[in-house]
A and B are shown apart, each in its own frame.
Chain A
Amino acid sequence: MQTIDLRGVTCPTNFVMAKLELEDIEAGTTVEFLLDDGEPVKNVPRSLKDEGHKLLGLKEQDGYYTLLLEKGAD
């Protein structure tokens, strides 16, 4: 599974980077994003959901978050 590390990247750059990465991934594929605590973990999942992707889960480890997501159809 592909892991996209968005730690250290602030809003809205992290969301735009996530969008660009998802462009090269096939619909239905599961990927994970690493997100910082605070604004990123609050905003990025919601924005990706709004774009039609399916959020599968969120887990915390060592002060950052892993968001599991299935790419939606275009």
Chain B
Amino acid sequence: MAEQKIDLRNLKAGGFIKERGKDLFTVRLRVPGGRLSVDRLAKIAEVAQKYGKGYVHLSVRQSIELINVNFADFDAVVAELGEEQQKVASCGARVRVPTACGGCEYNPNGLIDTQKSALEVDEKLFGTATGHHKFKVCFAGCPFDCPKSSINDVGFQGAVWPSLDADACIGCGLCAKSCTEGALAMADGKPVFDAQKCIYCGDCIKVCPTGAWSAAKKGYTVRIGGKWGRRPLVGTLYATFLPEERAVDFIAAVLAWYQEKAEGAGRVRLGDIIIREGCQSLLDHLRRDFAGFVVAETVPPQVIVNQIPLPGQA
């Protein structure tokens, strides 16, 4: 066997992606939730300058990718990035680095700490081999859903359930005006709540001048089975108000079901396995440990007819 010039352990989780051209690789960096300190960013810039092409690429899932890195420099790149605790990301049939919006610390729309959740998932589940295909997770802070929870294998969306203290309400009507879903209307000078229409965005709570509206409960709305790519699927609803501290366990439970049910299926994403097995099987599996949060029923991932040829065409 030839003498090993590089440490192959660095390649275990992937993240080194073959480029066109001899010896050259893209090195995808691990940036859970897309947040990184300016010091880390400076270190990345330094390494990119020294070993790369002179530019970086921002991946569509919030990673920074170093371009045109010679494979002989892998060990040096890993070591120098390590000086600022910057790690290399994953690729292939593994749990990918979770994406997240800015969360709730500075963004006025954010209902939940998505950055914290992304870091927890990254710490506990990063790089876990699925045995089948890639597995993507994202955290959106509110129903605006900038991270696009429905096109992830498991997508989380921050949610609050509003509750009114009628005595504190001054009948100003701001909540009804703010509610874009039509879940609130004014009648006799007081807001009337139609729970069926509420999507848990909390806009009523945010605008209420007196604090008459408050959050009775908070957590994640969870959608499962989405993906993009050649044959997109829109993920569907599996849980509501899942407590943030249970997100990691929830993902692990979905992953266990996927690993078992996709056995022998080859390179198939979770959504397609749900279509094959039926969503009831996954609902039943999740209900064992998350009974209070799993919805009574759901529908399979939704196929979008956006691929050529158009229906009816040859």
Contacts and interface: CB of A to CB of B under 8 A. Distances in A.
B207 interface: yes
A19 interface: no
Contact of A58 (B108, B172, B206): B172
A58 B177 CA distance: 9
A50 B178 CA distance: 15
B44 to A, nearest CB: 32
Contact of A46 (B172, B178, B180): B178
Given A49-B207, A54-B209, A55-B209, A42 B172 contact: no
Interface in A19-33: none
A59 B173 CA distance: 8
B103 to A, nearest CB: 16
Interface residues of A, number: 14
Contacts of A65: 177
Interface in A33-74: 41-42, 45-47, 49-50, 54-59, 65
Contact of B174 (A47, A50, A54, A55): A55
Contacts of A49: 206-207, 209
B305 interface: no
Contacts of A45: 174, 207, 209
Interface residues of B, number: 12
Contacts of A54: 209
Interface in B37-51: none
Contacts of B207: 42, 45-46, 49, 55
Nearest to B209: A55
A17 B178 CA distance: 21
Interface in B172-231: 172-174, 177-178, 180, 203, 206-207, 209
A34 to B, nearest CB: 15
- Looking at A50, A57, A65, the one whose CB has the most chain B CB atoms below 10 A away is A57
A54 B170 CA distance: 12
B277 to A, nearest CB: 42
Interface in B132-175: 170, 172-174
Given A46-B203, A49-B207, A59-B173, 18 more contacts: A41-B177, A42-B177, A42-B180, A42-B203, A42-B207, A45-B174, A45-B207, A45-B209, A46-B108, A49-B209, A55-B172, A55-B174, A56-B172, A57-B170, A57-B172, A58-B173, A58-B174, A58-B177
28 contacts: A41-B177, A42-B177, A42-B178, A42-B203, A42-B207, A45-B174, A45-B207, A45-B209, A46-B108, A46-B203, A46-B206, A46-B207, A49-B207, A49-B209, A54-B209, A55-B172, A55-B207, A55-B209, A56-B170, A56-B172, A56-B209, A57-B172, A57-B173, A58-B172, A58-B173, A58-B177, A59-B173, A65-B177
Interface of B: 108, 170, 172-174, 177-178, 180, 203, 206-207, 209
